[in-house]
């Protein structure tokens, strides 16, 4: 992965930076130039809250390149408490205990490595809320 591409994505991957439409209040993640809700073009910058719930998940048994050492792993759609849905891995969890609806917290983690000596890309993954607090 070319460093400028990874660098450009830091605000979303590291800090969940989003934008909220000044007209209809819809939150866009990643930020957009046109609001998908009302077509508005003025936004306030904001950060997404890190709490949410698991909507749907799957266990990946045939992983793509760069994820071989993690397989099998869970990935799914997480709805954050402000209503925004994201796709990410669900980790630090017994895969047999995962259930739709369970509370999750978004953490900062390494996502993939570009070979032995290439760039390491970081980003967000979800962990169970209970274990996180204990």
Chain contacts with other proteins (rule: CB under 8 A): 9, 30, 36, 56-67, 70, 73, 75-77, 85-89, 100, 111-112, 121, 123
Give the nearest distance from C-beta 46 to other proteins in angstroms.
17
The answer to whether the beta carbons of residues 90 and 97 sit under 8 Å apart is no
* Residue 131 Cα distances to 64, 104, 134, angstroms: 28, 9, 5
Least distance from C-beta 6 to other proteins, angstroms? 10
By beta-carbon proximity to other proteins, the closer residue of 101 and 134 is 101
Encoding tokens for residue 31? Answer: 């930020």
Please state the closest distance from residue 56 (CB atom) to other proteins, in A. Answer: 5
Strands 51-60 and 85-90: unpaired
């Amino acid at each position: 992965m070319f460093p400028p591409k990874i660098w450009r994505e830091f605000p979303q991957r590291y800090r969940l930076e989003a934008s909220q439409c000044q007209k209809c209040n819809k939150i866009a993640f990643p930020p957009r130039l046109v609001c998908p809700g009302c077509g508005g073009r003025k936004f306030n910058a904001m950060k997404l809250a890190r709490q949410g719930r698991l909507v749907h998940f799957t266990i990946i048994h045939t992983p793509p390149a760069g994820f071989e050492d993690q397989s099998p792993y869970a990935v799914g759609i997480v709805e954050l408490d402000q209503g925004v849905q994201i796709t990410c891995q669900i980790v630090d969890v017994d895969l047999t205990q995962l259930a739709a609806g369970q509370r999750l917290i978004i953490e900062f983690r390494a996502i993939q490595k570009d070979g032995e000596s290439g760039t390491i890309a970081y980003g967000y993954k979800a962990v169970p809320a209970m274990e996180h607090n204990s």
